[in-house]
Amino acid sequence: MRMTEVSTERPLPDNLDAERFVLGAVMSDDTSFLQVAGNISADDFSLEKHKRIFLRMLDLHERGDRIDRVTLANELNTHGQLQSVDGVSYLVSLDDGLPHLHNLESYVNIVKEKSLLRRIISVSQDTINRCLTQDDNPKEILGAAEDAFMKLGDANTRNALVTPNQIINEYEGGINSFLDTSKRIKGISTGFLKLDEMTGGFREGELIILAARPAMGKTAFALNIAQHVTSNLKSPKAVAVFSLEMSNESLLTRMVCAAARVDQQRFRAGYLNHEERSALQEALYKIVESPLFLDDSAGTNLMDVHSKLRRLQAEQDLGLVIVDYLQLMQGRGRFENRQQEISTLSRGFKLMSKELRVPFLVLSQLSRAPETRPGDHRPMLSDLRESGSIEQDADVVGFIFREEVYRPDKESLKGTAEFILAKQRNGPTGRVKLAFLNRFTKFENLAADTGDDVPFE
């Protein structure tokens, strides 16, 4: 079907009876106004006269006056709007045929749904008009459309206030399960025991920021977690990795060598013995069979990530999303500065994680401040590069730190690393000591954490 064949002559979606019943219900019982005003605004009404009536109701309520036919007619008349809403006779007719006041929530929902459809049409029509005039860059048009639709989705998914009783009633297993810690929903295990103890695992809807200076191993750390999640014997879950820095082949090479504990340099050079080849083959078979999904598309943006994840989630039990890394992404549309752009991206990932109910592990760069800081080079929250709202949006912020990078001459530091839990919205902060096997670009638990009596190497 050609674009010129698309009909634009159909009336916009509305339900005038639902709009009348909402306004009529308020006039019948003005205590219901708060229920209405808490869910819809004047712009949600399709008729201009309904918008004016609702705004005058709002004026009366804010002054503490009663809302009925007499007070409303007087308020409209004061603003010179009584005739424009077809007079007192129309106000009287608003509650004609009103079925039941207890259906008010249903009427409000209908008004909201029709309003959302009209807003979607408006955004779509504006996008079509901009495309037809060809005055703007296509990327700018797409960016504006993406931003507009994400705002519509955000506004539409706001949840109502709930009571503790509602929370318990909706909790699977009721009050006994709610109080039984063994039955509480736990997060996705990272494979790092001390980190899991401190965080309870990565939980659905969380935005986890993993930051480090270059060559500290943030990509390796993320891939180690991805491998653990997809290969969990009890409950393997799918992991989606969006890499804007490395190719799919490079990512797979890292993961195979880390799993097989084979030196990457020896693998690339081709100097492998029989044991190493066997280990690589076994590791590759396991990874091939695991629910791991990689994407190295150039120019990936929020809308790309969202659409791909929606399709993947329809087919797989998605457990974790990894983005490597934030500063390499480009936001759609125009931004006053790079900080504003990064803030938009971090907010977008947070909203996406809540909508999809999946934890997002987003990698980020740090400024040079840790390197220039005298004495202790450990990163801090203020070191987040182009931070903007990154710290605000994130539920967890962690840093990878390897002191051996700054003090290569000290033997006792070789093979050691720290995960610095700098922020956790729902738990403690602190440091987790880890082992780092540089040859395999692999992080592991310390032997003491696992209860083993022997080191890993």
Give residues with Cβ within 8 angstroms of 433, minimum separation 6.
194, 416, 417, 418, 446
Return the structure tokens found at 358.
């999946």
Q: How far is CA 342 from the centre of its chain?
A: 14
DSSP E strands in 289-429: the ranges are: 292-295, 318-324, 360-365, 396-401, 416-424
* Residue tagged active-site, from 48, 197, 245, 282: 245
Helix (H) or strand (E) holding 206: none
Q: Residue 275 and residue 366: Cα distance in Å, rounded?
A: 39
Pairwise CA distance, residues 215 & 401, whole Å: 10
Q: Which of 89, 79, 358, 47 is nearest to 201 (CA)?
A: 358
Residue tagged 């590069």 (tokens): 385
Q: Are residues 101 and 25 in contact, defined by beta-carbon separation less than 8 angstroms? A: yes
State the angle between helix axes of 248-260 and 218-230 in degrees (0 to 180), rounded to the nearest 10: 70
Question: What's the token pair of residue 307?
Answer: 């659409």
Nearest to 302 by CA among 244, 249, 247: 244
Segments in 238-329 forming alpha helices (H): 248-260, 264-269, 274-289, 302-315
Chain centre to alpha carbon of residue 279: 38
Kindly state the tokens that stand for 250.
């490079």
245 is an active site residue: yes
Among residues 309, 171, 299, 179, the alpha carbon closest in space to that of 239 is found at 309
Q: How many CB atoms lie within 10 A of CB 414?
A: 13
Rg (CA), the chain: 28
Tokens of 112: 């909201």
User: Could you give the residue numbers annotated as active site?
Assistant: 245
